[in-house]
Structure 1
Amino acid sequence: MAIIPNSNSIAESNESTNYRKPFLTITFLFFMWGFITVMNDVLIPHLKEVFELSYFQAALIQFAFFGAFFIISLVYFIVSVSKGDPISRIGYKNGIIIGLVLCGVGCCLFYPAAIFQRYGIFLSALFVLASGVTILQIAANPYAAILGKPETASSRLNLAQGFNSFGATLAPLIGALLLYKVFSNGEITVDSLKIPYLIYGGLFFLLALIIKFIKLPSFKNTETLEKGLHVLKFRHVVLGMIAIFVYVGGEVTIGSFLINFFKLDSIAGMDEAQGGVFLSYYWGGAMIGRFLGSIAMGSMTDKLKKYLLMACLSILSFMVIYLITGVQNNDGVFSLELIPFAQIQFFIFFLIINYIAFLIGGSKPSRVLTLFATVVIILLAIMILADGTLAFWSAIAIGAFNSILWSNIFTLAIKDLGKYTSQASSLLVMMIVGGAIVPIIQGAVADQIGIQLSFIIPIFCYAYLIFYGLKGYQVKPLTT
């Protein structure tokens, strides 16, 4: 979820400096917040079981997490338009450090939450953790953009976002391994959360120290942030805000309930640990899609070379996912137990469809948005109407088609805004709150009609994205 700063507003301290090492550090930062965000998908079924929660109550995990995005972004926006950009005052490097420290504190709060065994304390810890991630979103994206030549800023951000998805891919695997194998005897308890989240917190604190002592470029944003809400007179901005809301809401609610969906006897009958492994295929598909999107929508003019590179990258990324999901821990002994190809043939088929969809969509964001949202609706319909293997892999395939919807919506929503671009960006980031609202709606529906039928809720989300890709993105003049 990257916001690309205006390159004309950035003054680099030394254009000839080699920023490879700092960029590698920032890339690991993207990896970490992708990892910790998707850990929520492992937490939901875990805490649901421990505290005997309804689906609605379990969905409060995402409400606390993504609600923090909205509140912190809103406060940041209000301060920015009234007092000036806070990050520009304290520096982006210090902003990143503050975000990392907050993430570390939020993770460490899981320890007392587990001791007192209070669901409300877990939700509070998640709010603090998400507040840190929000600040990282605001501060780290511009840093990734300036660590090199301005003309390659977009490429660096796409690469960083790809590693963000890699973190999201590993989170279900490592989370399930730590929660259900390493720090548990197989019994589901809150005590198994203590050490893993202390480890996560320690990594965030360590990364904050590394950022503190690594030399990073000094720059300032000289772009003027317009006061008032004139940007809301642009139709495509307002409709784009709704699009971000429903996209994030749809993506988060699907990921939140996938493990519960996999547990259904009519689908796969998996336990939480097994479901966590296959959840990695869902987020791995998103990683593959983002890597492909960075090439498909890039500036490479040789189409044959572009298509071959996309195919090779897709195969390589798939093999990485295939190998890491084969790592097993049996009574403390690690082994490699690869899933037979016959069992994942549907996933391979859907990856081929994803590749073809990129070829059809080309480099036009509105076309790709419409096409991919349509495919997601078809996959959701299969989830609802079918059973067994087809429904199972249709659910997992959604990740690949969700992959670049955020960047396409964002690009369309800030088009031709000029001096209003920064203000529109802030408002769009606030709409991440959809990830807090839509899951609790689906949770409430699931409590009434069952988890499988409840996936009709995200269908409405993606139907709106089709409208935005067809008509809503069109730039209209200011209304009077």
Structure 2
Amino acid sequence: MRHREKRVNVQSITDEPSISTAEVAVPEQRVSWLPLALIVSLFFLWGGANNLNDVLIAQFKKAFVLSDFGAGLVQSAFYLGYFLVAMPAGMYMRRFGYKSAVIFGLLLYGVGALLFWPAASQATYGLFLFALFVIASGLAFLETSANPFVTLLGSQETATRRLNLAQAFNPLGSIAGILIGQHFIFTGIEHSPAQIAAMSVAERVAYFESETHAVQWPYLVIGLVVLAWAWLIALTRFPNAAASSAMAAGKGVLRKLLRDPRFVGALFAQFFYVGAQVGVWSYTIRYVQANMPGTSAREAANFLTAELVCFMAGRFAGAALMKYLRPVRLLLAFAAINMLLTLFAVLHPRASGAYALVACSFFMSVMYPTVFALGVEGRNDDERKLGSALLVMTIIGGAVLTALMGAVSDHSSIATAMSVPVGCFTVVLLFAWRRGRYSVGAAG
């Protein structure tokens, strides 16, 4: 019996960077539950990897006696991997298919996690940064391929429902990552600079070695689990789903996009939004410890967990509010609220400022997908494909602006560093305001 075929234009917009469009020809079919479960699990796996970085910043700052700028290089190395590998990942997916791209991404992820063992044994910060770069390279492959792949593992009538289910596992993975770091990486042993200075050389070396080695076993287990998942996916039979040229747009399309102020505005807004999100989460533990004396890193991680819970809650609340408010107006309101919350954290560096940062995550939740959608809105197929790839690359903001926050903190204070997200949310607000005016004018 022959299947009826459809030409399907699959578009996925997520809170994490991904290639959002791929044109494929697939038969109508029932949900493939085992393949679907294996691919949905990837959203959990990369959510955990992303937010373990927030724990690593605090841990490496202690283990290697780093400045805030030096510790912030964790995010710089990580997001540089995303930035450099996003386009090659898309090209690989077009050439070898979704399943192959997923397996290759998992292999890179697993190898990067296993590199933490020799990095800790040699106590080499640079090797840790390289390992994070390899992990991020793997995640770039996963995010490029997994989003459209989920929509193909079943009937097209339920594709959106399946993708929403998959996306729900991402913040769950983020929360799991924080809990792993909180209970299996943070040792609970913290010494002040004066106490460290009073130690003998042998005691000091032993202390730094124990803090560095704390990451070995958690990342060894993560690496083995990820490699096992790659093996399971390799053994599992998946429905045929061949990706076509997802980014085959020519130079003329690129020139058209970069001459369009609305699209360029979306690029800037996404760059600064990702920088704000990564910066706030990366330095939450540092902010809490600096402004709530006596709080251990393990206790401060509770604030980061609360941020991720708020982020997940904001996703569902934002989706519900968009039934009554235009997305661009909701983006405008949420950006204004976050400007005020982060400004409050700058001006009131105490417990109330930390709670303001927690609340900030609720209002960040809708920003990435909304800016993404506005960036590709009204584009033809080629423009959407290339535009999506360019929007993915703006996540380099997470590397640049987190490092900037570290530099500001080193020269002033971590509370002052939160002025960087204030500026970032101002850019998002201006983008939403201008797009709102354009929409009203176009409607008129």
Same fold, TM-score > 0.5, yes or no: yes
Give the corresponding residue for 1:323. none
Q: TM-score normalised to the size of structure 2?
A: 0.85
Separation (CA, whole Å) in 2 of partners of 1:394 and 1:452: 12
2:171 to 160, 165, 168: 165
Q: For residue 24 of structure 1, report the CA deviation from its aligned partner.
A: 2.1
Question: How high is the sequence identity, in percent, across the aligned residues?
Answer: 32
Q: Conserved in 2, the CA contact under 8 Å of 1:248 and 1:434?
A: yes
Give the corresponding residue for 1:197. 219
Q: Does 1:422 align with 2:444?
A: no
Q: For residue 152 of structure 1, report the CA deviation from its aligned partner.
A: 3.6
Q: Which runs of 5+ in 2 are unaligned?
A: 1-15, 191-205
Separation (CA, whole Å) in 1 of partners of 2:311 and 2:408: 26
Separation (CA, whole Å) in 1 of partners of 2:311 and 2:85: 26
Q: Conserved in 2, the CA contact under 8 Å of 1:268 and 1:389?
A: no
Q: Which amino acid aligns with 1:371?
A: A
Separation (CA, whole Å) in 1 of partners of 2:322 and 2:385: 23
Alignment of 1:10-159 (within 5 A): 10-13=24-27, 15-75=28-88, 85-159=91-165
Q: Conserved in 2, the CA contact under 8 Å of 1:169 and 1:280?
A: yes
2:339 to 377, 381, 393: 377
Q: TM-score normalised to the size of structure 1?
A: 0.79
Give the corresponding residue for 2:201. none
Q: For residue 71 of structure 1, report the CA deviation from its aligned partner.
A: 1.1
Q: Conserved in 2, the CA contact under 8 Å of 1:104 and 1:129?
A: yes
Give the corresponding residue for 1:444. 407
Q: For residue 392 of structure 1, report the CA deviation from its aligned partner.
A: 2.0
RMSD of Structure 2 on Structure 1 (CA): 2.4
Give the corresponding residue for 2:250. 227
Q: Which amino acid aligns with 2:112?
A: G
1:241 to 251, 254, 267: 267
Moved more, 19-28 or 167-176: 19-28
Separation (CA, whole Å) in 2 of partners of 1:260 and 1:182: 15
1:274 to 284, 287, 299: 299
Moved more, 41-50 or 388-397: 388-397
Separation (CA, whole Å) in 1 of partners of 2:150 and 2:270: 22
Deviations 1:317-357 (A, max 9, x none): xxxxxxxxxxxxxxxxxxxxxxxxxxxxxxxxxxxxxxxxx
Q: Conserved in 2, the CA contact under 8 Å of 1:158 and 1:290?
A: no
Alignment of 1:297-312 (within 5 A): 297=322
Q: Conserved in 2, the CA contact under 8 Å of 1:63 and 1:436?
A: yes
Q: Conserved in 2, the CA contact under 8 Å of 1:415 and 1:475?
A: no
Separation (CA, whole Å) in 1 of partners of 2:166 and 2:316: 10
Q: For residue 182 of structure 1, report the CA deviation from its aligned partner.
A: 10
Q: Conserved in 2, the CA contact under 8 Å of 1:236 and 1:475?
A: no
Q: Which amino acid aligns with 1:241?
A: L
Separation (CA, whole Å) in 2 of partners of 1:2 and 1:450: 30
Q: Which amino acid aligns with 1:426?
A: A
Separation (CA, whole Å) in 1 of partners of 2:160 and 2:30: 19
Q: Conserved in 2, the CA contact under 8 Å of 1:159 and 1:291?
A: no
Deviations 1:7-50 (A, max 9, x none): 7x32114x223223322222211011000110000000100011
Q: Does 1:206 align with 2:228?
A: yes
Deviations 1:209-228 (A, max 9, x none): 12112222211234662111
Separation (CA, whole Å) in 1 of partners of 2:320 and 2:237: 30
Q: Which amino acid aligns with 1:420?
A: E
Separation (CA, whole Å) in 2 of partners of 1:56 and 1:74: 28
Q: For residue 278 of structure 1, report the CA deviation from its aligned partner.
A: 2.4
Moved more, 422-431 or 392-401: 392-401
1:292 to 313, 317, 332: 317
Give the corresponding residue for 1:330. none
- Matched length: 403
Q: Does 1:176 align with 2:182?
A: yes
Q: For residue 291 of structure 1, report the CA deviation from its aligned partner.
A: 2.9
1:403 to 339, 346, 365: 365
Separation (CA, whole Å) in 1 of partners of 2:350 and 2:409: 19
Separation (CA, whole Å) in 2 of partners of 1:33 and 1:260: 23
Question: How has the CA–CA distance of structure 1 residues 131 and 6 changed in structure 2, closer, same or farther, with 3 Å as cutoff?
Answer: closer
Deviations 1:404-429 (A, max 9, x none): 21100000000111031100011111
SS at match of 2:26: coil
Deviations 1:361-407 (A, max 9, x none): x3522111111111111111121122433212111111111112110
Deviations 1:213-268 (A, max 9, x none): 2222211234662111232222221111111110111100111100001102x436
Question: How has the CA–CA distance of structure 1 residues 161 and 186 changed in structure 2, closer, same or farther, with 3 Å as cutoff?
Answer: farther
Question: How has the CA–CA distance of structure 1 residues 420 and 444 changed in structure 2, closer, same or farther, with 3 Å as cutoff?
Answer: same
Q: Conserved in 2, the CA contact under 8 Å of 1:4 and 1:154?
A: no
SS at match of 1:142: helix
Give the corresponding residue for 1:343. none
Q: Which amino acid aligns with 2:356?
A: S
Q: Which amino acid aligns with 2:47?
A: G
Q: For residue 183 of structure 1, report the CA deviation from its aligned partner.
A: 12
Q: For residue 114 of structure 1, report the CA deviation from its aligned partner.
A: 0.3
SS at match of 2:237: coil
Give the corresponding residue for 2:396. 433
Give the corresponding residue for 1:314. none
